[in-house]
Amino acid sequence: MPRRRNEPDVLIETPDGLFCEAGGFHIDPWNPVPKAVITHAHGDHARPGSAAYLCAGPGAGLLRRRFGSDTPIEPLPYGRPLRIGGVTVSLHPAGHVLGSAQVRIEGAGGIWVVAGDYKRAADPSCAAFEPVRCDTFVTESTFGLPIYRWDDTATLMADIAGWWQSNASEGRSSVLFCYAIGKAQRVLAELARDTDRPAFVHGMMLPMIEAYADEGVAMLPVRSATDQPRGTSFAAELILAPLMARGTPWMRRLGSHSDGFASGLMRVRGVRRQRAFDRGFVLSDHADWPALLQTIDETGATRVLATHGHADPLARYLREQGMDTGVIRTAWEGEGAED
Ligand SMILES: [Zn+2]
Ligand SMILES: [Zn+2]
């Protein structure tokens, strides 16, 4: 990470992840630490075992369900400044999943914002991204290449609804694979705009859906496909399931079905071909290329550090535009990241 003038960096890279020396905390550490500030509940950001956690208020329920209810988790409302050691920390909506937060840190080295994962597309299941002015902006770059440009959500949701309908008219069920935190609830919230027909979900998704309902997110009513009595027909039904259920005996109960995957990864040709779903829906919870550039511009930052995904091409592009840039390595490179 480049250093500027004689100011200390607000955050430094350590073997456990980004560390704020003046505040004594890590952000999204990948090993247990004394104090962890968490941007959101996905597995590549929120790791168990730390002695204390701080997260945005709406995300605390998800973290508790992941880590256990006795985990010391301090929820902080969006926008409320908190003094930690020699710095002031506040959390601001990142628009990625419920409770996702950008971490703003004001210290002797200026104002830093660590965005975590974020998106700019509207999402009825979480608070909308808010641009935060800063000196140094740490941006994700999961889809940090000019080829990544998302279609609008309404078009994608009409595709999903149309697929469900046409499968139903032929007596098949529709099995939509998606991540259990964020994507499932976003799809259920989007569908609830047009129908109140219940959907089925894999049993392991229920606690995370409940965490959203607890925060007042309106979604389609759901039933556990896992708990239905033997012989239940799922013909014409929509079933949401995590990818790990694909190809397992659990699928047999669903009978004749079409399968689809809702993820930004469906824009990646290799993934599309290799995974061979009947349908791919390019519904991403990350910023696409234009949204990354727009966001970087809106922060007013003079230095941008890219991480998480295509960090090198994004940093190179910004450098060519005359910006001070760098790259932060993470323990989670490549395709393992949840989308
Ligand atoms: Zn994420
Ligand atoms: Zn991530």
127 and 258 Cβ atoms separated by less than 8 Å: no
Q: What is the pLDDT of residue 335?
A: 44
Residues 90, 214 within the same domain: no
Residues 260, 310 within the same domain: no
61 and 211 Cβ atoms separated by less than 8 Å: yes
Residue 112 confidence (pLDDT) above 90: yes
- Helix (H), strand (E) counts: the chain: 7, 19
CA of 337 to the centre of ligand 2 (A): 5
Residues 303, 217 within the same domain: no
Query: pTM of the predicted model, to two decimals?
Result: 0.95
Where in the sequence is the domain holding 46, given as residue range(s)? 12-147+285-328
Residues 143, 93 within the same domain: yes
- Assign residue 229 the CATH number of its domain: 3.40.50.10710
Residues 263, 316 within the same domain: no
Residue 7 confidence (pLDDT) above 90: no
CA of 338 to the centre of ligand 2 (A): 6
pLDDT digits (tens, 9 = 90+) for 253-288: 999 999 999 999 999 888 888 889 999 999 999 999
Last residue of a domain, one of 281, 300, 318: 281
In a domain, 54, yes or no: yes
CA of 254 to the centre of ligand 2 (A): 31
**How big is the CA angle at 313 (ends 308 and 314), to the nearest 5 degrees?**
65
- Position 303 confidence tier, pLDDT thresholds 50, 70, 90: very high
- Assign residue 46 the CATH number of its domain: 3.60.15.10
Q: Regarding predicted confidence, which is higher, 276 or 213?
A: 213
Residues 306, 268 within the same domain: no
In a domain, 1, yes or no: no
Structurally, the chain folds into a number of domains equal to 2
Residues 276, 290 within the same domain: no
Please report which ligand is nearest the Cα atom of 332. Answer: 2
The mean pLDDT of 230-243, rounded to a whole number, is: 95
Residues 295, 243 within the same domain: no
Q: Which residues are paired to 53 by β-bridges?
A: 36, 73
Q: What is the pLDDT of residue 117?
A: 97
